[in-house]
């Protein structure tokens, strides 16, 4: 074209008339064709986003919402439990699921003075309710009374009487549940996680560290 | 003496020839052995009719294909797609990609039919798989094809990838096809992971718990990824239906689309010769290099 600028650094005129665009108007900077195609693209983009964004939010929604209700589950009278050994109890974690999937086993014993957590502000928990979810990858651990250890069948994680890691791949002590006593019944509430000093944290997934610098790689999630 | 035959109804009578049509051979008229209705003439007429019908029948598929081709113009594309030039030395190793494609198609077909009986609910999933295996006619076979076909597809995709690597078929200009292939590999493994939960027995449940927690062990994004897979912090009924939807709708569509792109690029770029074949240089070029 004849109007190709000789000097590439020379700025093109913003006016279509100066650029020699066919059908240009005085004072026009955007041609009708550019405006129309831009408008059509924008309309298509808005229409696509109007479908895609709600669908995406629908699929990703559970990541941002806390769906675990703060419900207290009765696990039996106080006379069922003692301070020297664990009693297995089955509680329902997710009530809306039928069958066995929503249930889990916990181990419960009476708390002693040594169980006072460093992060306890008010009264310490009256009972220790330990989750059987292994902190390596989530298999169910089993309490062996003879050795006073929690042992995981999948990859050989071993925890001591308090739930602290003594062997194998787990990254932190076994999770626990909040407990309280009402009318002589023991109630079990929400789950919480513990670091190696048994300080409390919001519940994390198995395999997520809460100790040292590692914990910055595993942020707390909005779902718990 | 036989009684006379009853007269034929008009509809069964042979119609007279149309005026101007091919006159039948043999002497015109008469009922003699060589006449119009003689034995030889009738046999010949029948033979001709059979030939004519055969020709007409053969015309049907040709005209149908012709009708489609005239309106779609697909034949130049199909010719270029199916009758490609392949390099000398092309061997059985070059069929591994097609084998993987066939494994995917087999999974797709058996999967669609399994979905007719499968119930993706925590209380019904295991029972529906039992039902498919034990009660549905050929259910054990179709479910077995899907279950073993999954393993076959994973094995084939790795062997296909190994062939591509060893033959150097990932090099310029085929890098993009390698990248698409790697995405297909990841999607295939995601299919294997999501499909493993669906029988919902003890093995698949705990394997999926472990698998999701392995996802959770990834730094920063891991915990969120696990929440996405489980649809929350705990394993729920939604987890099963979520895995089912990912397994039978989301990933198959992505795999099918990417296979399309993969095959398009293979068609566009052609295949490579095996590495043990030396390139045939022209004499001039060889001289120039010396």
Distances (CA, A) of A107 to A113, A132, B4, B102: 18, 7, 104, 51
Contact B216 A208 (CB under 8 A): yes
Q: Are B31 and B37 in contact (CB under 8 A)?
A: yes
Report pLDDT for B211.
95
Q: From CA A65, how far away is CA B207, in angstroms rounded? A: 26
Report pLDDT for A1.
45
Contact B217 A208 (CB under 8 A): yes
Report pLDDT for B234.
87
Report pLDDT for B32.
54
**Distance from B222 to chain A by nearest Cα, in Å?**
8
Contact A62 B212 (CB under 8 A): no
Distances (CA, A) of B122 to A62, A103, B140, B148, B200: 19, 12, 21, 24, 7
| Of the partner residues B122, B216, B217, the one whose CB lies closest to the CB of residue A98 | B122
The helix (H) or strand (E) run that includes residue A58 is: helix A32-60
A131 touches chain B (CB under 8 A): no
Evaluated on CA atoms A172, A173, A175, A181, the torsion sign reads negative
Tell me if the bond preceding B168 is cis, omega within 30° of 0: no
Contact A154 B232 (CB under 8 A): no
Q: From CA A174, how far away is CA A203, in angstroms rounded? A: 11
Report pLDDT for B232.
86
| pLDDT tens-digit map of B230-254 | 988 888 888 999 999 999 999 999 9
* Nearby residues of B210 by Cβ (< 8 Å), 6 or more positions away: A137, A138, A139, A154
Highest mean pLDDT among A121-135, B9-23, B87-101: B87-101
Contact B233 A63 (CB under 8 A): no
Q: Are A97 and B237 in contact (CB under 8 A)?
A: yes
Record the pTM: 0.81
**CA-CA-CA-CA torsion for B64, B65, B66, B70, nearest 10 degrees?**
110
| Of the partner residues A96, A206, A217, the one whose CB lies closest to the CB of residue B237 | A96
Q: Is a pLDDT exceeding 50 seen at residue B1?
A: yes
Contact A217 B219 (CB under 8 A): yes
ipTM of the complex: 0.84
Contact B233 A138 (CB under 8 A): no
With beta carbons under 8 A apart, name residues in chain A contacting B217.
Answer: 137, 205, 207-208
Nearest C-alpha neighbor of B239 from the set A42, A69, A14, A93? A93
A203 touches chain B (CB under 8 A): yes
A221 touches chain B (CB under 8 A): yes
Residue B45 backbone zone (phi > 0: left; psi -120 to 50: alpha; other: beta): alpha
Contact B206 A224 (CB under 8 A): no
Report pLDDT for B172.
92
Report pLDDT for A165.
95
Q: Is a pLDDT exceeding 70 seen at residue B225?
A: yes
For B206, other C-beta atoms within 10 Å of its C-beta total 16
| pLDDT tens-digit map of B40-59 | 888 999 999 999 999 999 89
Res. B102 pLDDT band, cuts 50 70 90: very high
Evaluated on CA atoms B93, B96, B97, B99, the torsion sign reads positive
Q: Is a pLDDT exceeding 50 seen at residue B71?
A: yes
Q: At what angle do helices B96-115 and B139-166 cross, to 10 degrees?
A: 150
Q: Is a pLDDT exceeding 60 seen at residue B25?
A: no
Tokens of B224: 């969120």
Tokens of A23: 């059908």
Tokens of B253: 């569509």
**CATH for B92-269?**
1.20.810.10
| pLDDT tens-digit map of B166-217 | 999 999 999 999 999 999 999 999 999 999 999 999 899 999 999 999 999 9
Q: From CA B251, how far away is CA B183, in angstroms rounded? A: 11
Tokens of A59: 């699929």
Could you give the percent of chain B with pLDDT greater than 90? Answer: 68
Residue in chain A lying closest to B125 (CA): A99
Q: Is a pLDDT exceeding 90 seen at residue B136?
A: yes
Contact A205 B219 (CB under 8 A): no
Q: Is a pLDDT exceeding 50 seen at residue B85?
A: yes
Q: At what angle do helices B222-230 and B237-245 cross, to 10 degrees?
A: 90
Tokens of A180: 């309280």
Contact B232 A219 (CB under 8 A): no
In chain B, domain spans? 10-82, 92-269
With beta carbons under 8 A apart, name residues in chain A contacting B231.
Answer: 62
Contact A138 B212 (CB under 8 A): yes
Report pLDDT for A71.
82
With beta carbons under 8 A apart, name residues in chain B contacting A99.
Answer: 122-123
**Distance from B127 to chain A by nearest Cα, in Å?**
12
Per-residue pLDDT of chain A (224 residues; tens, 9 = 90+): 445 555 666 678 888 888 888 888 888 888 888 999 999 999 999 999 999 999 999 999 888 888 777 788 899 999 999 988 999 999 988 776 666 778 889 999 999 888 877 777 767 889 999 999 999 999 999 999 999 999 999 999 999 999 999 999 999 999 999 999 999 999 999 899 999 988 888 899 999 999 889 889 998 888 87
Residue in chain A lying closest to B209 (CA): A138
Nearest C-alpha neighbor of A168 from the set A135, A193, A192? A135
- Average predicted confidence (pLDDT) for chain B: 89
Q: What are the beta bridge partners of residue A119?
A: none
**Distance from A183 to chain B by nearest Cα, in Å?**
30
């Amino acid at each position: 074209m004849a109007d190709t600028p000789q000097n590439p650094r020379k700025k093109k005129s913003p006016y279509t008339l100066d650029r020699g665009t066919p059908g240009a108007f005085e004072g026009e900077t955007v041609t009708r064709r550019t405006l129309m195609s831009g408008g059509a693209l924008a309309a298509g983009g808005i229409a696509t986003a109007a479908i895609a964004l709600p669908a995406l939010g629908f699929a990703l929604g559970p990541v941002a919402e806390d769906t675990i209700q703060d419900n207290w589950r009765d696990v039996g009278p106080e006379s069922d439990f003692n301070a020297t050994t664990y009693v297995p109890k089955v509680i329902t974690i997710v009530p809306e699921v039928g069958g066995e999937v929503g249930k889990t086993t916990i181990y419960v014993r009476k708390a002693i003075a040594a169980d006072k957590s460093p992060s306890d502000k008010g009264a310490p928990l009256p009972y220790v309710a330990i989750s059987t979810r292994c902190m390596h990858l989530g298999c169910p651990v089993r309490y062996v009374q003879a050795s006073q250890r929690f042992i995981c069948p999948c990859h050989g994680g071993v925890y001591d009487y308090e739930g602290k890691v003594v062997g194998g791949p787990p990254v932190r002590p076994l999770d626990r549940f909040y407990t309280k006593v009402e009318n002589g019944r023991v109630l079990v509430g929400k789950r919480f996680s513990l670091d190696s000093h048994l300080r409390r944290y919001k519940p994390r997934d198995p395999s997520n560290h809460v100790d040292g610098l590692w914990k910055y790689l595993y942020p707390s999630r909005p779902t718990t | 003496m036989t009684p006379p035959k009853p007269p034929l109804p008009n509809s069964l009578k042979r119609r007279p020839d149309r005026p101007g049509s091919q006159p039948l051979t043999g002497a015109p008229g008469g009922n003699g052995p060589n006449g119009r209705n003689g034995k030889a003439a009738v046999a010949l007429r029948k033979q001709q009719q059979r030939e004519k019908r055969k020709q007409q029948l053969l015309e049907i598929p040709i005209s149908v294909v012709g009708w489609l081709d005239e309106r779609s113009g697909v034949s130049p594309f199909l010719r270029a797609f199916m009758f490609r030039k392949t390099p000398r030395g092309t061997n059985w190793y070059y069929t591994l990609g097609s084998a993987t494609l066939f494994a995917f198609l087999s999974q797709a077909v058996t999967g669609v039919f399994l979905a007719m009986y499968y119930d993706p609910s925590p209380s019904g999933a295991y029972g529906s798989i039992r039902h498919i295996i034990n009660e549905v006619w050929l259910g054990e076979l179709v479910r077995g094809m899907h279950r073993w076909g999954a393993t076959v597809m994973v094995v084939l995709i790795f062997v296909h990838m190994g062939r591509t690597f060893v033959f150097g078929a990932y090099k310029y200009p085929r890098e993009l096809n390698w990248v698409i292939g790697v995405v297909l590999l990841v999607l295939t493994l995601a299919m294997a992971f999501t499909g493993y939960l669906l029988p919902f027995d003890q093995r698949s449940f705990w394997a999926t718990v472990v698998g999701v927690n392995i996802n959770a062990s990834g730094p920063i994004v891991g915990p969120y990824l696990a929440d996405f897979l489980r649809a929350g912090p705990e394993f729920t009924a939604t987890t099963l239906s979520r895995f089912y939807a990912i397994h039978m709708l989301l990933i198959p569509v992505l795999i099918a689309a990417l296979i399309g792109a993969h095959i398009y690029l293979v068609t566009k770029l052609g295949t490579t010769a095996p590495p043990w074949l030396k390139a045939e240089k022209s004499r001039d070029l060889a001289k120039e290099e010396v």
